[in-house]
Each structure stands twice: as structure tokens, then as C-alpha cells.
Amino acid sequence: MIGAGQRFTPLQRLLHWLMAVCILTMLFIGVGMVSTVMPKYLMLVSIHKPLGIAILVLALVRLVVRLRYGAPPLPADLPEPMKLGAQLSHYALYILMIGMPLLGWGMLSAAAYPVVLFGGAHLPAILPQSDSLHTLLWDAHFYLAYVFFALVLLHIAAALFHAFVRRDGVFDAMAPVPTHYEIAPAE
């Protein structure tokens, strides 16, 4: 079990929960916007682009913070396959958090679409116009979005498994506020 005080830093927990909201919003907007021709399409796209860039910036900040502060160790009694799964899935989540916005930005660049953020501000193209690059990046962005959502579901399932079944402090390490488990010794 993770001992008292073995939690992510407040900054890490803030970044985690802020990004959790952003990423879930982003995935739902993405799957919704590609399936409608109604006026909300434009509203959804106009949120999708700046929110994607915001997630990119937050993910890079988070990566630096993670490298600086690390993470609490996993419980010693956690089976090896679960430890491996936890580590690999977190690598994958970081890759997707940083990679998906870059794929989106690159895909728009390769299609010669302006990348417009709020207030008419726009970002430069990061790739030359190219139909083959556009296709490659578009496919990656599209299919990886489903992979990302599946990983998010897996991540939630694992978090709840730690919270409800194993009760080993892993969930509490990232819980937004101290939970019963942590304050228990003071009772």
C-alpha cells in the first residue's frame, strides 16, 4: 500500500483533473462534430482547435512537472502484469496527449487550412501542403482518437478498481481532495 503523504503533488493533481475534463470534452466534441451538418458543427470545431492547443500546452507542462516530481511508487503487492499495464498505459496516455494535438495541427497545415484560435489569432503551418501527408495524419488523428478514448475508459476502470476493490491507495494518490482512506489514521 501507498503510505500517508505518498500522493502526487497538488500541482500534479490539479493538472490531472483539469486535463481529464479537457480531454473528455475534446473526445466527445471530436466524435460529435464529424457526425453532424448542423450549425453546431462550426461551434464544436471552433472549440476543438483551441482546446487541442490548450491540451498540448498543459501536457508539455505536465510532462516537465512529472519529470521533476516523479510519481508515488505503485503498491509492492500489485501483480507484475498490472504494474506493467499501468506503466505502459501511462506512456501511451502521455504520447496521445502530446501527439493528438500535433497530429491535428499538422493535418490542418497539410490541408492548407488556417489554424484559428479564439479571437481570430492563428497559428503558423507546421507542415507543407500535401495530400499524402494530410491523409496519413488525418487517418492517425481519427483512429487514435478511438484508441485514446478506449485508453481513457481503461484508465477509469483501473482507477475505480484500485478505489473500490484493491483499496490500495493508488486512487487516493491522485484524488482531487484527501479521501477517507487517507484521513482514517487521524480518526
Which parts of this chain interact with other proteins (CB under 8 A)?
Answer: 27-28, 31-42, 45, 111-114, 119-120, 122, 129, 131-132, 134-135, 138-139, 149, 153, 156-157, 160-161, 163-165, 167, 179-181, 184
Shortest Å, Cβ 62 to other proteins: 22
Q: Residue 6 CB: number of other CB atoms within 10 A?
A: 16
Q: Which is nearer to other proteins, 92 or 136 (CB)?
A: 136
Contacts of 47 (CB under 8 A, 6+ apart): 25, 29
Shortest Å, Cβ 175 to other proteins: 8
Q: Are 122 and 116 in contact (CB under 8 A)?
A: yes
Shortest Å, Cβ 131 to other proteins: 4
Q: Which is nearer to other proteins, 67 or 131 (CB)?
A: 131
3-state secondary structure 33-60: HCCCCCCHHHHHHHHHHHHHHHHHHHHH
